Amino acid sequence: MIHVKSTHPPVCVVVPSPGNLARYTAFEMSLEGLLAPQGSFVARVRGSSSLALGVNAAVKMVIESPQTANVGRFFFVDDDHEFDQHVLVRLLETMDASQRATDEEYRIRVLMALCMAGFKTKFVNLMADQVAALHGPYPVKHVGRGGLLVDSPVFQRIPPPWFQVGQIDPEEFQEDMHFSDLCRAHGFQPYVHLDVVTGHTEPVSVFPHRLEDGTVVPMLRWGNGKSIVMRGLKP
């Protein structure tokens, strides 16, 4: 993380990891180059029986500790994401600009960078072909926890635990979706910033694939069985 002079208050960057190390080097490189206001710091939530449990504990500790009383926002990012160094600053600028609204309804306190959940043509509650005509923050029903900026008053108004598993589907975690429901129930509309993006890292295998005319091109195949044939790309 690189500290920069800023009018923004310090940010606690919460990084939950299922193990003791990040899964992908690209994430650690992104985190090292992330621009953040002076006084910002990283809170790593290491492997436990429940990442939601660890995330809740980290947020609670920061909110209740006198040493971190100046933290103004929380930035959640998972270790399977890749992002440029300006992603946090751009989200902060958008959130700050909205605070000038006289009506609380138009103030953005829950804002996520645009991200694809795996190999899909869908973003968070938004089809990819809908994004072409839209820009800036866009209200959605649910946001994810990867690249999510949350204003501190959200955690002060909503009683813990903020992230709870199995509340929507007993067979799924979906703690970020349930957190979105809690936010809306307490008057905090979640938004996705359509012009600020993060990458979602997933393992992919490259296969040689023969086209109808005999040409061999690369084919990318994900673990879920979906694939892309790179027809315009020759090995």
pLDDT tens for residues 46-62?
755 578 888 998 999 99
CB 143 within 8 A of CB 190: yes
> Which pLDDT score is estimated for 224?
73
Residue for token digits 């899964």? Answer: 23
CB 34 within 8 A of CB 14: no
Side-chain-side CA neighbours of 128 within 13 Å: the count stands at: 8
The β-bridge partners of 41 are: 12
Count the Cβ atoms, other than its own, within 10 Å of residue 161: 18
- Confidence class for position 175, pLDDT limits 50, 70, 90: confident
> Which pLDDT score is estimated for 181?
93
3-state SS class at 28: helix
CATH number of 2-200: 3.90.550.40
| pLDDT reading at 65 higher than 50 | yes
- Confidence class for position 102, pLDDT limits 50, 70, 90: low
DSSP 8-state symbol, 210: E
Structural element, H or E, at residue 208: strand 204-210
> Which pLDDT score is estimated for 49?
57
Residue for token digits 């920069």? Answer: 4
Mean pLDDT, residues 202-219 taken together: 88
Would the CA dihedral through 127, 133, 138, 144 be positive or negative? positive
> Which pLDDT score is estimated for 121?
47
Q: What confidence tens digit (pLDDT) does each residue in 122-143 have?
A: 455 566 666 777 888 989 888 8
- How far apart CA 98 and CA 100 sit, in angstroms, is 5
Q: What confidence tens digit (pLDDT) does each residue in 3-47 have?
A: 999 899 999 999 886 555 567 888 889 999 999 999 999 998 875
Domain ranges (residues) in the chain: 2-200, 204-235
DSSP 8-state symbol, 9: P
Burial of residue 129, with CB atoms counted within 10 A of its CB: 0-12 exposed, 13-18 middle, 19 or more buried: exposed
Token pair in block for residue 69: 């009383």
Long-range Cβ pairs for the range 130-137 (8 Å, 24+): 131/194, 134/194, 135/194, 135/195, 136/94, 136/193, 136/194, 136/195, 137/94, 137/98, 137/108, 137/111, 137/191, 137/192, 137/193, 137/194
- How far apart CA 156 and CA 74 sit, in angstroms, is 12
> Which pLDDT score is estimated for 11?
96
